[in-house]
């Protein structure tokens, strides 16, 4: 999904600069032929300065977009990792399961660390039921 957004924004930026350049070339052709070389040099330098300014603005916008997207993705990943899950351990000799609360990033395959800092290893004869995971 992110690659689609980046590709679309890159195409839009390239199209903007191509259209801008065509527009500037069209203005140059419409000038009367009586202009002397000093006026032409001044206009070409002005056009180059405008293009450089447009490129600079485009680069800054792209940089802001990338930093903003990176920050948003980092925040959503952090928020997902800090989701609290409830884990029920069903043991053979107990009729009621034992419940623990765990952050999602602390959950491993056969062990986990609870929110209060206890490290729990799940034995092979125990069944672990995780509540709160979304598909």
Half-sphere exposure of 32 (CA within 13 A, CB side): 3
Rounded (10°) angle between helices 37-81 and 2-29: 170
pLDDT in tens, the chain (135 residues): 677 888 888 888 888 888 888 777 766 655 455 455 555 666 667 777 888 888 999 999 999 999 999 999 999 999 999 999 999 999 888 889 999 999 999 999 999 999 999 999 999 889 999 998 875
* This prediction's pTM: 0.56
CB 20 within 8 A of CB 54: yes
């Amino acid at each position: 999904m992110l690659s689609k957004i980046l590709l679309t924004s890159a195409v839009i930026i390239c199209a903007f600069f191509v259209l801008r350049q065509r527009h500037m070339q069209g203005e140059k052709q419409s000038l009367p032929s009586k202009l002397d070389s000093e006026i032409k040099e001044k206009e070409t330098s002005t056009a180059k300065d405008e293009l450089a300014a447009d490129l600079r603005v485009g680069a800054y916008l792209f940089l802001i977009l990338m930093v903003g997207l990176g920050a948003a993705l980092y925040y959503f990943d952090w928020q997902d990792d800090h989701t609290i899950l409830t884990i029920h351990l069903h043991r053979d000799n107990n009729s009621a399961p034992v419940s623990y609360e765990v952050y999602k990033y602390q959950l491993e395959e056969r062990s986990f660390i609870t929110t209060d800092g206890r490290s729990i290893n799940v034995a092979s004869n125990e069944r672990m039921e995780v509540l709160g995971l979304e598909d």
